[in-house]
Amino acid sequence: MAGVYECVADNGLGQVAVGAIRLQVHYPPEVEVEKSTVYTGEGYSVVLVCFVYADPPAKVIWDREDSTFDSSRHSEPDEVVMGSRHELVIQSVGRDDFGRYSCKATNSLGTMTRHMSVTGVADRVEITSEPVSTAPDVYDLSWQVQSFSPVQEYKVAYRRSKHNISVEQPSVWKEVIVPTTGSEPVGDVLYHQRITLRGLEPATAYDLKIQARNAHGWNAVSDQFRFATLTRGEALESRIAGTGGGPSRRLHPLLGSALVLAVIILPAVL
């Protein structure tokens, strides 16, 4: 409710009279971070950003958990609407720069702290393949992942989904370790990979998730992605022509009408 309020008086004679009052509301700091996790690699530069809203204005201090660092990396704040934008710039990241950072804001009414993590592990994997196979017993799986250090291997886990009519409980996860053969980086940090899963059951829905490992360890596992195999004898005629946009694929019955065709994957742990 803070801001400028106007009182306008007009009786139809002469000029309108206007009076302005500014309402200032004092409140303890509120802190927001731009990213809670920042992915980077040794030799790269990163910028940690937090936004602070407070009245009276807050004093902001950056800190790092369990270690010290050069506080001069904190740049001068920029004014934003009803608050200020604060940056912590880390040039040429070293192994000692990975860890958990905090942005702490304090005024006469209170204190608030928000945390950010700087990590060298890969970002979360994004699956780029279609959710319906082109055969009853195989599935062509493809994905991409951003990593500032070379990816060393992947862990692909899949199982029969509980969404199958004949399955009351999902089956046990089957894990496959995938080397990085053929996963050349694109633009230095984006890696692509493709494999074929074989020996699958026809007309069956599967759950799938992927992790990537680089020199800094395993990243967070993706959210579950669901795909389905074709029934025996079902051919690529399951594709139907889209209007004005090339061919599109009917939603496989096992995936359910409420599920989206493409899923972007993000965290959990195998």
pLDDT digits (tens, 9 = 90+) for 11-47: 999 999 999 999 999 999 999 999 999 999 999 989 9
- What stretch of H or E contains 222? none
Domain 27-119 indexed as CATH 3.30.70.520: no
Domain range summary for the chain, segments of one domain joined by +: 27-119, 126-255
Domains 27-119 and 126-255 share a fold: yes
To 5 degrees, how large is the angle CA 241–CA 245–CA 249? 40
Q: How confident is the model at residue 74 (pLDDT cuts 50, 70, 90)?
A: low
Domain 126-255 indexed as CATH 2.120.10.30: no
Cα dihedral angle (224, 225, 230, 236), rounded to 10 degrees? 180
CB 135 within 8 A of CB 141: no
Task: Please say if the pLDDT value at position 90 is more than 60.
Answer: yes
How many beta carbons lie within 10 A of that of residue 87, not counting itself?
A: 17
Least Cα distance to 183 among 159, 156, 153 occurs for 153
Chain CA centroid to CA 84, Å: 25
Please state, for a pLDDT cut of 90, what percent of the chain lies above it. Answer: 60
Assigned token pair, 230:
């074709």
pLDDT digits (tens, 9 = 90+) for 141-183: 999 999 999 999 999 999 998 876 665 666 889 999 999 865 5
Average pLDDT of the residues in 125-131: 95
Task: Please say if the pLDDT value at position 263 is more than 50.
Answer: no
Mean pLDDT of the chain: 83
To 5 degrees, how large is the angle CA 219–CA 223–CA 227? 125
